[in-house]
Amino acid sequence: QVQLVESGGGLVQPGGSLRLSCAASGSISRFNTMGWYRQAPGKERELVAAISSGSTNYVGSVKDRFTISRDNAKNTVYLQMNSLKPEDTAVYYCYVYQYGMDYWGKGTLVTVSS
């Protein structure tokens, strides 16, 4: 089993920054994929960023603003979010994909508003 705990969400003004963290515990493979999805009110959940074996991918709307990274020693994945926009407002969910299974955190709310 894998447990994921997110932290770092909150209220920020447009143009501001936040850093999300997700600590994974349990049986963790360093060869897994870790990443972040988000779900805005009234919208479907979308992939924001993922990292696997050093390679990363991002949804187009966050490229050049968000950076995903991971610390394998701490089993933690990070999402540095800069130049935040109101449309980035959503619940952000951490996920891990390994051995054919998905694991999800409970989510952390990010609100971008003046």
CB 104 within 8 Å of CB 95: yes
Find the mean pLDDT for residues 55-74. Answer: 95
State both tokens at 20. Answer: 């999300």
Residue 1: pLDDT above 90? Answer: no
pLDDT at 29: 85
Nearest CA to 94 out of 81, 75, 107 is that of 107
**Cα-based distances in Å from 32 to 23, 27, 79, 86:** 14, 11, 17, 31
DSSP code, position 54: T
Per-residue confidence at 105, pLDDT binned at 50, 70, 90? very high
pLDDT at 113: 97
pLDDT at 85: 97
Please list, in sequence order, all residues whose beta carbon lies within 8 angstroms of the beta carbon of residue 48, skipping any fewer than 6 positions away: 35, 36, 37, 38, 58, 59, 62, 66, 79, 92
Query: Residues of the chain with pLDDT > 70: what percent?
Result: 100
Residue 107: pLDDT above 80? Answer: yes
Find the mean pLDDT for residues 80-95. Answer: 97
pLDDT digits (tens, 9 = 90+) for 4-52: 999 999 999 999 999 999 999 988 888 899 999 999 999 999 999 999 9
Please list, in sequence order, all residues whose beta carbon lies within 8 angstroms of the beta carbon of residue 18, skipping any fewer than 6 positions away: 8, 9, 10, 12, 81, 84, 110
Alpha carbon 78 to its chain's center = 7
**Cα-based distances in Å from 65 to 26, 44, 81, 101:** 31, 21, 6, 29
